[in-house]
Structure 1
């Protein structure tokens, strides 16, 4: 069973990503609503992949990415960004994000990206 940690401050976005990825067999989910929770849940549950929103209160996705990668240099983190956040996405990739998904996203792209990272 593969584990995906979905991080977004919007419950609707967490649900949307969860429903999309639910179409992939053998995946279980963890959720976090901000970067602080994301780092804590990552260390606690060691997910195979993290989808991380860039813009969140309390701790941004970029800050959480850096802390997760410090705890686990092999962490597979996919940044989720809105259009117009190119500079933040670039910084995220330079800090170890594997790739990114731009909102609004296409179902096939999200599923394909996650399957590739999960190696399924």
Structure 2
């Protein structure tokens, strides 16, 4: 009975536990690590404020400030740091607009996971 329960937990109906470990370490984690390495390089070389200034006019048409591009770039790796970074914006409508816009964006790890599931 214990062996059956252990096998059910480890393999499950579709191999849930083993699939989850595979998804985390083989699909999601490399994307997030690569994204934050590139983001760190862009930040070190000073391109992030330049991107914010360049995209300011375009984002004002949407109703956002140019500095909300930084949380949007963070949200490409994971939505949680992006939403936490939006709190630093000064005007409440920009904060709410940034949170709503970030929820529309999808994280890169999720996009790769969905692509892997749709095209096996």
State the TM-score, normalized to the length of structure 1.
0.25
Higher helix share: 2
* Bigger-Rg structure (1/2): 2
Higher strand share: 1
State the TM-score, normalized to the length of structure 2.
0.25
